[in-house]
Structure 1
Amino acid sequence: MTLAIRHLQFRQGERHKLLVDAQTGIPLYYPSLFITTQVRAGGASVSTVQASLTALKVLYAWQADQGVNLEELFSSGKVLRLEEITSLVGFSARLLREERRLKTYKVVRLGVKAGRAVIRSISNVSAQTHFSRLSTISKYLGFLAETLRVGQTSRLAEGPVSVMVELINAYRPKTTQLTAVDRDERGLDLKVVDDVLEYLRPGHPQNPFVDQAVQQRNHLIVTLLRYLGIRRGELLSLRVEDVDFSKSTISIVRRADTPLDSRRHQPLVKTKPRRIPINDALQKALSDYILRCRGCCRRAKKHPYLLVTHKVGPSLGSPMSNSSFGKLMAIVQGMKSEFSAVHAHAFRHTWNYEFSSITDEAGTVTPEQEQKIRAYLMGWSETSNTAVTYNKRHTKELAAQAVLEFQEALKCKKE
């Protein structure tokens, strides 16, 4: 049986996802029950539901691969054996599409390395993804085992179920692996940021986009990311009404599951709502786009979202989707080799680096005040440690400067 994740949108705007039989479209009963009662009922976002369903899809792919029927196994009072658990752990680390593709081969595909034939390695998911998959799988197996105990003659003992769940969790990657790479390296060089803005400037001879409205929209997008440090979901969720020209502010508002958003995959605001002041240049860029570009699209008058599609066709004037934004970033990355690291979140890291540098040079606020200001502008809690992660690049530079000054002082002291 081939499984697929189906996206649902109810009349009141709520989004939901279910694991279904790809041929019949019928949802799988126990995965649907688990997602509805254990994941979605807890207030999880659609993206969290998607990740959970992907983990369950991997579990059922393993079940088919191993010839195991989990429902029959648990109903008979048994649990997974140690060798089955280790097999499941290894399987869940692989890319599911790689597993599916390898099953279509009649023979084992070999590669050539240093004149010798070698078996081609299968790509693995990241440690973070593997950790998340196993967490969901262990929780689901515990849920399934407990659910199937009801009304069964042969009941599962409490101990074996708990041991099975704990053993799967014990095989999750260590947390030290999840932070092995510093996130501060994701920031962009300031010259690259300036070059991107210049190349995307409307009328620039090397602008890869032809339509003038598209050029103006794309330049506005990068400008907002550059000067506000907002997330992609926050950017695509902006409405015209969120721009207050009388007060020179732009508001970031959480509106999950709103029926006004026609996009299948609604961009979401993950951080706290806030109102950010904007200067004259940003106001002019926003005003020009709203009046000259967005206002010319008939469909745009039927919804409140700021950024719209300008491609001629049935989607003209519709809210800009996540996939359209991804295509924009892909085109920007291909403009020059130096732009390969350009993506929405990189601008957020860069914003935090520049904010630290400028506030340090100004010297007008205390470190405590800077932390509170940053937390508000980024939408974090004042007690959140997220700022430490985003500010690591600036901290490293200060540390390098301090240690060099220390070494010079020691040198002068000896002399």
Structure 2
Amino acid sequence: MTDEVDLMDLVIGRVPLTEALVRGSMVEFLRRDQSKNKLVVSPHTFNQRLTTVRLYLSWLFDLQLSGLISSDSVYENMLVRKKQLCKWIDSSFISSPPSNTQISKGLSPAEVSNLVSLLYPGGNRVIGRDEAVRHRNYVMTMIMLSLGLRPGELLSLKVQDIEIGAVSSVRVERRPPDKNDLRRPRPQIKRNGRIIPIVDKSFAHELDEYILVWRERLEDKSEFETDYLILSDQGEPLSQSSVTQFYQILRSKYPSELPSNLSAKSLRHTFSSRMERALRESGMDEERRKKALALLRGDSSLESQAVYIDQEIEQSSRKALDSYQRKIFSNEEGE
């Protein structure tokens, strides 16, 4: 529809508003997965697309109506067209689409701020008496939160995977099983390897300091040397159960500041959701955002990125609705 009809022409009446145009053309266009052109998107994605289009078209109509006199016949005709358009769109929604439970697994901006504040080694609030452990907790949390690593990927990192310099980065690399790794279960990298830049220079400095100073202090507590990056309080490679337990203890100590779903997985969900938002705001189309997310997350399938696409569509729609309603009610109050 958007390739053939100018939306403003539709609003002001230059193009006849017909059910075939709305439901047969526009609605069906929104159902399709544009990357494949034949398959349909999920009910949730379709409903969010339809919501966004409805809000935008309603705004275009209201913009034109605001410049007309209510007694004018043009005003009445345009108002009738708007009501008919909204009626056709409303009847096209798919009722009760399956809810996506993964959408709520990330942390809110306030929760992220609280978490970073609690763990930052140089902050006012200090958690734990061992300074090396505090730096370790901060580094491992920020790697998952800012770089999107899975727990298995984090615990598989070795010191040589960290590059600190003019362009700092973390390399996630699949390797053969390490016979010397006694952890059970042994952390694994099941997805694609990748190199992730560290843009924030302050975090690059914190990571470098952890490797040169605090990790060495942890390793000194063990009689065995290891090249794994994240070490336990006893200087051995940290286990996945220890990571799980750490976030359980943390959220139980600060229930009013941290969410009940705080975990290593929720940090990755937060990374994915925020990256989708940043990619959308940069102007990327949906297909390119899926590819970018898959690359950053180490995924082979583009379908696993749909949950984050859907989440941002939903949030954008709510923001648009909020803005629209504020304008409408403020106009009514001023009349």
TM over 0.5: yes
- TM (normalized to structure 2)? 0.61
1:288 CA drift (Å):
0.5
Query: 1:395 is aligned with what amino acid?
Result: I
Partner of 1:135: none
Decide whether aligned partners of structure 1 residues 391 and 367 sit closer, same or farther in structure 2, where only a CA change above 3 A counts. closer
Cα 1:406/1:398, change in 2 over 3 Å: same
Confirm or deny that 1:293 pairs with 2:211: no
- Give yes or no for the alignment of 1:191 onto 2:114: no
Distance 1:300 1:378 in 2: 36
| Alignment root-mean-square deviation, CA | 2.7
Match of 1:87? none
- Structure-2 separation of matches of 1:399 and 1:300: 57
Q: How much has 1:207 moved relative to structure 2?
A: 2.9
> Would you say 1:202 and 2:124 are equivalent positions?
no
SS of equivalent residue, structure 1 residue 333: helix
2 CA distance for matches of 1:249 and 1:195? 26
Determine the structure 2 residue equivalent to 1:327. Answer: 245
Deviation at 1:287, TM superposition (A): 0.8
- CA deviation vs aligned residue, 1:3-47 (integer Å, no higher than 9, x gap): xxxxxxxxxxxxxxxxxxxxxxxxxxxxxxxxxxxxxxxxxxxxx
**3-state SS, counterpart of residue 141 of structure 2:** helix
Structure 2 counterparts to residues 101-180 of structure 1, below 5 A: none
Q: TM-score, normalised by structure 1?
A: 0.50
Q: Which among 150, 171, 187 is matched to residue 267 of structure 1?
A: 187
Shift of 1:345: 1.0
Are 2:197 and 1:277 aligned?
yes
Which structure dedicates a bigger proportion of its chain to strand? 1
- Alignment partners' CA distance in 1, 2:141 and 2:176: 24
Q: Cα distance 1:368–1:391, how it changes in 2: closer, same or farther (>3 A)? A: closer
Cα distance, 1:303–1:182 mapped onto 2, change above 3 Å: same
Residue 303, structure 1, aligned to residue 222, structure 2: no
Identity of paired residues, percent? 28
Written as runs of structure 1 = structure 2, the 5 A alignment for 1:22-171 is none
1:257 aligns with 2:177: yes
**Contact 2:153–2:187 at 8 Å: present in 1 too?**
yes
Query: Structure 2 regions of 5+ residues with no counterpart?
Result: 1-97
Cα distance in 2, alignment partners of residues 329 and 260 from structure 1: 27
Summarize the Cα distance change of 1:300–1:198 in structure 2 as closer, same or farther, 3 Å threshold.
farther
d(CA) in 1 for partners of 2:212 and 2:303? Answer: 40
CA separation of 1:300 and 1:183: change in aligned 2, threshold 3 A: farther
Higher relative CO (CA 8 A, sep ≥ 6), structure 1 or 2? 2
State whether residues 243 and 264 of structure 2, in contact with CA within 8 Å, keep that contact through their aligned partners in structure 1: no
CA 1:405 to 1:295, structure 2 compared with 1: closer, same or farther past 3 Å?
A: closer
1:259-304 Cα shifts (integer Å, max 9, x gaps): 1322121112232111111122232121111111112323487221
Aligned to 2:263: 343
- Distance of 2:208 and 2:112 partners within structure 1: 23
1:356 Cα shift?
Answer: 2.3
Q: Deviations over 1:55-103 (max 9, x none)?
A: xxxxxxxxxxxxxxxxxxxxxxxxxxxxxxxxxxxxxxxxxxxxxxxxx
Residue 334 of structure 1: CA displacement? 1.5
SS state of the match for residue 129, structure 2? coil
Shift of 1:182: 1.9
Whether 1:397 aligns to 2:315 is: yes
Q: Which whole-Å CA distance do the structure 2 matches of 1:334 and 1:407 have between them? A: 39
Aligned residues: 228
The residue aligned with 2:281 is 361
